Structure 1
Amino acid sequence: MSTGPTIDTPNNKSGLWGFMIVPLILLGVLLAYLLTTGGGLQNLSGPPVEHVTVQQVRLPDAQTIQLTVVNDGPQEVTIPQLMVDDAFWTFTAKPSNTIPRFGSATFTIPYHWVQDEAHLIALMTSTGTVFEHEIPVAVLTPSFSGDLLWRFALIGLYVGIIPVALGVLWYPWMRSLSRRAMNFILSLTLGLLVYLAIGTWLDATEFAAELPAFIQGLPVTILIALLVLFTLILLGRREKKAGEKPSNLSLSYRIAFGIGLHNLGEGLAIGAAFAAGEAALGTFLVIGFTLHNITEGVGIAAPILKKNPGIKHFILLVLIAGFPAILGTWIGGFAFNPILATLFLAIGVGAILQVVFEVGLLVKKDDEKAQVNPLNWVNFTGFTAGVLVMYFTAFLVKF
């Protein structure tokens, strides 16, 4: 009995590839047609859409302003004129004042700017569109020197390595605590890490907002953070399937890595602020970060309270978590790049979230082993304490 027409499925796999390739060929034909002829939509097109972003401002000397301008619009842009403080001014542009799509140019303006004052620059395109950029506080851009390199390194040392090391010094005392007290410390670590994840995420989105529109900073930041999170989780599951029990020491290293990326972001912010003259309360800022970051050492040491890994590992953990603050201060002070800043911070968000997952599992397993419900007041109080410590010490570092 016939039940209706049937569709033969090719047994040859090469025939199946044809079904995949043909739509791609037809799509290419359609795109070529639209690009070469306009597809009959010419009468519907409006005026050209232009958009440029000032990526970087440098003040190399008292009589020069340099702008790095990126064209993130859909077509090339020509900038024949610009104004500084409402007056048209001469300039030179390299490689050209006509910037192709996704391209950039450096505009050098021979203008005697005033120290510590604001200046407004307006870029006028050939179609009459004006794009403005304000220099809020005009200060000389730091030039690379051994003395300044050392000074920026000291800042990173004060806000990164020293506070983390001071926090780790609580390790001997923490080892004397009871099981419940240790879980309180681990829960406190969870609170610290959750707060750090949120703070790192906000820093990443702030830098992403400065990127050219075509980079799609916010979606890319979310995607990178999620990819890092899932990659680290899958690598952890692979270890378990291979019969390798992840050690608490490896968890401490992952915590240090995530905190290090967060401290890199802090260093970038501090270095950029000093370079732009916006850190008028620089010493106060350093003191605030030092107090804010001392709890990070507690979080790094918390997973290894039951087994002392030795002084060598403590030194490495402190360097992994703290040295990025020095590196970030150097980059922020001498060669700030919002693309790299966004990338590193997005990776940091994913790494910190994965550590939050691992520490949460550690607390859960320890409580279940003791036949205690993980959702208890000790863990809740520890988590809340971690969040509150980070929140209130953050008052000292907001500028």
Structure 2
Amino acid sequence: MNNMLTGSVLSALSTGLGAALILFIARSLTHRWRDILLAFSAGIMMAASMVNLVPQALQTGNFSTLFIGLAAGILVLTILELAVPHLDLEHTKSGVPFDEKAMLIIAAITLHNLPEGLSIGVSYASNSAAPMGNLIALAIGLQNAPEGFLVALFLVNQQIGRFKAFLIATLTGTVEIVTALLGFYLASLFESLVPYGLAFAAGAMLFIIYKELIPESHGDGNEWAATYAFIIGILFMFFFMETL
């Protein structure tokens, strides 16, 4: 329980860590570096999904369990994408008034963090406990950092003060703590839900990788750098798993 709380809090606060960059560099971060950060995050999440979540879901369940959980994770993210208007943060260069559109972007990012929190909670409830949970919390936390920066950057482009943008972006990640608690308790109370939860987490992460991170990292002509960053992210996660 304590490990889960620590992991979920650190993962959620990494959104604020990334957003804190806006206090110092504002618009000076190039598209190239943002693409590299996004692709690196995608590699981290890919390794965590395919080497940890999917094998654990198969080990504690079976292929049917994996299929149902993956499908559920993808379905939930698809519904969120369709229900909440989504603005491509990475490629937004012109500001618009901070009105309903800006609020929708904040709501969209917050909602997209819900499955990530569930992933962390379920991972800590699995038989592999702390090692699995720590890996997933790390993977999601590393993905949250550039996301937090991009949200803060978007808000600054809408004429919001840097400190206020930092606070708002940080708050979008705190929802992960609540859903991590929910995922942990559900999986702990109903042990049969663990393989479904692990597969759900894998499906949600794979959706984010292919739908969000990879396209956004390839949208400004930095495909080579993003590709290498993606591979380095995978290797980084393997190195972390080897030394854990």
Could you say which TM-score interval applies, normalised by the shorter chain?
0.5 to 0.7
Report 1 or 2 for greater relative contact order, CA contacts < 8 Å, sequence distance ≥ 6: 2
TM-score, normalization by structure 1: 0.44
Letter of the 1:181 partner, please give it: W
Alignment of 1:320 with 2:175, yes or no, is yes
2:216 aligns with 362
CA 1:191–1:255 in structure 2 vs 1: closer, same or farther (change >3 Å)?
Answer: farther
**Cα distance in 1, alignment partners of residues 190 and 226 from structure 2:** 40
How many angstroms apart in 2 are the aligned matches of 1:288 and 1:348? 13
Q: Which runs of 5+ in 1 are unaligned?
A: 1-151, 275-281
Partner of 1:265: 122
Residue 92 (structure 2) aligns with: none
**For the Cα contact (< 8 Å) 1:267–1:328, is it kept in 2?**
no
Deviation of 1:263 (Å): 0.5
Question: TM-score scaled to structure 2, two decimals?
Answer: 0.66
**Structure 1 residues 185 and 179: alpha-carbon distance in aligned structure 2, compared to 1, 3 A threshold:** same
Using the TM superposition, give the Cα deviation of residue 222 of structure 1 relative to its aligned residue in structure 2, in angstroms.
Answer: 4.5
Distance 1:255 1:192, change over 3 A: farther
Offset of residue 205 of structure 1: 2.6
- CA-atom RMSD in angstroms: 3.8
Alpha-carbon distance between aligned partners in 2 of 1:246 and 1:375, rounded to the nearest angstrom: 31
1:161: Cα distance to partner? 0.9
For structure 2, the residue ranges without an aligned partner over 5 or more in a row are 88-100, 156-164
Distance 1:248 1:390 in 2: 30
Query: 1: CA distance between counterparts of 2:132 and 2:207?
Result: 30
Contact 2:57–2:199, Cα closer than 8 Å, also in 1? yes
Are 1:155 and 2:7 an aligned pair? no
Aligned 8 A contact 1:292 1:393 in 2: no
User: Please, which of 220, 233, 241 is the counterpart of residue 386 of structure 1?
Assistant: 233
For residues 49-69 of structure 1, the C-alpha deviation after alignment (integer angstroms, 9 at most, x for no partner) is xxxxxxxxxxxxxxxxxxxxx
**8 Å Cα contact 2:16-2:145 kept in structure 1:** yes
Q: Does 1:168 align with 2:24?
A: no
Give the one of 4, 19, 35 matched to 1:183: 35
Give the aligned partner of residue 201 of structure 1.
54
Residue 189 of structure 1: how far off its partner (Å): 1.9
Q: Secondary structure at the match of 1:259?
A: helix
- Label 1:364 to 1:247 Cα distance change in 2 as closer, same or farther (>3 A): farther
- What is the distance in 2 between the residues matched to 1:343 and 1:310? 35
Aligned partners of 1:204 and 1:346 also within 8 Å: yes
**Is structure 2 residue 127 aligned with structure 1 residue 303?**
no
Say which structure is richer in helix.
2
Partner AA of 2:200 in structure 1? I
C-alpha change, 1:291 and 1:173, in structure 2 (3 Å) is: same
Mark the structure with the bigger radius of gyration: 1
Decide which of 206, 214, 232 is 1:353's aligned counterpart: 206
Question: How far apart, CA to CA, are the structure 2 residues paired with 1:353 and 1:208?
Answer: 19
Shift of 1:304: 2.3
Shift of 1:383: 1.2
Give the residue type in structure 2 aligned to 1:195.
A
Aligned match for 1:217, one of 35, 40, 65: 65
The alpha carbon displacement at 1:286 in A equals 8.1
Name the % identity.
15
Q: 1:110-157 CA deviation, whole Å, 9 max, x = no partner? A: xxxxxxxxxxxxxxxxxxxxxxxxxxxxxxxxxxxxxxxxxx2x2212
Which structure has the highest strand share of the two?
Answer: 1
Code of the aligned partner of 2:153: K
Alpha-carbon offset, residue 337 of structure 1: 2.0
CA distance in 1 between partners of 2:77 and 2:175 (Å): 19
